[in-house]
Structure 1
Amino acid sequence: MPKPVYVFSSGRLGRQANTIVLETSEAKKHLPVEQVSELYLFGEVDLNKRLLEFVAQKGILLHFFNRFGYYVGSFYPREHLASGYLTLKQAEHYLDTRKRLDLARRFVEGGLENLTRLLRKEGAKGHQVDKALALIKESLEQVPHAQTVGELMALEGRSREEYYATWAELLGEEWSLNRQRRPPRDPINALVSFGNSLLYTALLAQIYQTHLDPRIGFLHEANFRRYSLNLVVAEVFKPILVDRLIFRLIRRQQLNPRHFLREGEGIFLSEHGRKLVVEEWEKSLQATYRHLRLRRSVSYRTSLRLELYKLEKHLMGEEPYLPYRLR
């Protein structure tokens, strides 16, 4: 089964017969194309049009990150599963205020519910999280009454801010989190930003395997510059995949100051730190659990795809979308 490949080395990517070749100053590495689903490029890599044509033909996505680990963008091949019918349905649900608001409520509710379940598990361990739980419960009660997407995003933002305020209690004062974007000013912000980028790109790869259009989301405004559907679905999975990963890395003391570096006003994961996080991230996506409805074990990577299938059914009027819940 094809898997993501993470490239940290600098060099040149090319095609040789039916193989992707990474050539560095030290060696050549051959990647059989049938074993690659997407390439994460962290190193300084040169490539040419011939390679892009090859990976487009094979449906392989390329995700580019700069030297600080910032997500730069993706090469998203022409949609081979695109459905005119489903694209129209997706646009219809975005343009129809009532339908968009209904879906937006479902995504926000799913994300807040997973924050609640994660905090309850932490509370059962003796952590003081009652204040955050109370505020998130209040937000959940207001979700059905929100009249605009902006109101929903405000409820989600306020709840997440209160949730992040508990991290000093959950992880220790040195890991207290006051959420910042670019550039991150401390290690915990660098971790959150990098983890979120990994989730966004993992979802983008799964969207490519469906009939959905990644440019049409239901929380963020559609524009000419970015994908938005992956950002919406990510709200449901951030507590489950990104936040729990960060908790494990810190509590197991797998991360320390040498995994971070300062550049200008920002602090970023070092190459060694990014490799460590990526390795644990892949373990998280490959981990399995028993799916109650399917009655079989599935991986969390498969769960991302199943979530998108549920969204497709909602758009086609077959079955209302119900977000994944942390068990």
Structure 2
Amino acid sequence: MATLYLSEQQSFVKKRDEYLLIRYQDKRTVEVPIHKVTQVVISGDVTVTTPALHLLLERGIEVCYLSMYGQFRGRLSPPVAKNAFLRRSQHRAHIDEQQALHIARACVKGKLENMRVMLMRANRSLQNSEIEDAAAAIRIMGQQATTATTIGSLLGIEGNGSRSYFGVFDKLLRGSLPFPGRRRRPPTDPVNAMLSLGYTLLHHQVSSAIQVVGLDPYVGFLHQPRHGRPALALDLMEEFRPIIVDSVVLNIVNHHILSERDFEEELGVVLLKSSARKIFYAKFEERLLEELHHPHFGYRTNYRRCIELQTRLLAKWLTNEIPNYPPLCIR
């Protein structure tokens, strides 16, 4: 089971029995069995017929629409889980200061710990004192997050941790692509372009898990809700950013999979070319399918499944089935 990425421009997708028939502009055709698809990501000018969309929705498969360059445009989702009691518990926890603080602390601590481990892993071979210092600083910030008493202070700790992490991120890169520091809106270099695209894809994965479990994606704990902001998705993304997206980017750069010629600039924004996006999607999917030992459940599973498991752990905490929400922290 995998995500189907449709990024070749002017492709046409229709239903054929229990298959999706994809016809490309050069007349090539590919049949994809519907039972092998968990999600669909459409990038740019791709036409999907109504019967094909109906088949996807009937099978509970979500469709994510991106622009040609990877910016999120919208989502077509099957009906949400009808668990009103779970959502009511979520809304109550959101307005309860101590409960909201519990989840917010876990989100920040998980992100900081995974950033620290990413740095320490890389530094086994690099032996760089700046990386070591950044990892030590992030460790202290993780301890501060555990005892933080306000959401505002947690956001400050998270911001400081991210600055320390990205302040040495360039030292983890062994390829030819430069990294001037984190630039979000807009990305102004290839590494930031890949990070931004990766976080968009991760957001879709987390949002899909929230949909499956039956939580409200717009009611968060660390990220406060505002109109159109999927606050819970942003919360649950935090612990996965370093270990999924950043890991993919490091793999691509350090193995020289993409180079400067795979990117283009448009109105000051650096973007991946079509061929490069296909490669990035493939590497992102590889990471999602990579297995690890889940520290809470004690068995091996892949990163995609971990996203859903963490969402279910949050639901269990909200309904008082477990005493704490444990973020996924790698070793």
TM-score by length of 1: 0.92
Q: Counterpart of 1:83?
A: 83
**What CA deviation, in whole Å up to 9, does each residue of 1:21-42 have, x standing for no partner?**
3344314433333322211111
Q: Counterpart of 1:3?
A: 2
Q: Counterpart of 1:176?
A: 179
Any unmatched runs of 5+ in structure 2?
Answer: none
**How far 1:278 sits from its partner (Å)?**
1.2
Q: Give the Cα–Cα distance (whole angstroms) in 2 for the partners of residues 194 and 231 of structure 1.
A: 15
The question of whether the paired residues in 2 share the 8 Å contact of 1:164 and 1:179 is answered with yes
Q: Counterpart of 2:257?
A: 254
**What CA deviation, in whole Å up to 9, does each residue of 1:86-120 have, x standing for no partner?**
01011111111221111101110111111112222
Going from structure 1 to structure 2, the CA distance change for 1:199 and 1:158 (only over 3 Å counts) comes to same
**What CA deviation, in whole Å up to 9, does each residue of 1:172-194 have, x standing for no partner?**
58533421222211111101101
Q: Give the Cα–Cα distance (whole angstroms) in 1 for the partners of residues 267 and 295 of structure 2.
A: 49
**How far 1:69 sits from its partner (Å)?**
1.7
The question of whether the paired residues in 2 share the 8 Å contact of 1:94 and 1:217 is answered with yes
* Greater alpha carbon shift after TM alignment, 20-29 vs 85-94: 20-29
* Greater alpha carbon shift after TM alignment, 129-138 vs 83-92: 129-138
**What CA deviation, in whole Å up to 9, does each residue of 1:280-312 have, x standing for no partner?**
111111111334554432111111111112111
From 207, 210, 230, the counterpart of 1:227: 230
**How far 1:17 sits from its partner (Å)?**
3.9
Spell out the pairing of 1:182-261 with structure 2 (5 A cutoff).
Answer: 182-261=185-264
Aligned letter for 1:180? R
**How far 1:66 sits from its partner (Å)?**
0.8
Going from structure 1 to structure 2, the CA distance change for 1:175 and 1:109 (only over 3 Å counts) comes to same
* Greater alpha carbon shift after TM alignment, 256-265 vs 6-15: 6-15
Report the 3-state secondary structure (helix = DSSP H, G, I; strand = E; otherwise coil) of the residue aligned with 1:175. coil
Q: Give the Cα–Cα distance (whole angstroms) in 2 for the partners of residues 251 and 56 of structure 1.
A: 39
Q: Give the Cα–Cα distance (whole angstroms) in 1 for the partners of residues 97 and 28 of structure 2.
A: 56
Q: Give the Cα–Cα distance (whole angstroms) in 2 for the partners of residues 162 and 101 of structure 1.
A: 23
Q: Which runs of 4+ in 1 moved over 6 A?
A: none
TM-score by length of 2: 0.90
Q: Counterpart of 2:38?
A: 37
**What CA deviation, in whole Å up to 9, does each residue of 1:231-269 have, x standing for no partner?**
211110111111122111111111111211111211111
Q: Counterpart of 2:115?
A: 115
Q: Counterpart of 1:140?
A: 142
**Percent identity between the aligned chains?**
26
Q: Give the Cα–Cα distance (whole angstroms) in 1 for the partners of residues 313 and 296 of structure 2.
A: 12
**What CA deviation, in whole Å up to 9, does each residue of 1:121-177 have, x standing for no partner?**
223221231331233233223223433222211210111011101022221585334
Q: Counterpart of 1:162?
A: 164
Report the 3-state secondary structure (helix = DSSP H, G, I; strand = E; otherwise coil) of the residue aligned with 1:209. helix
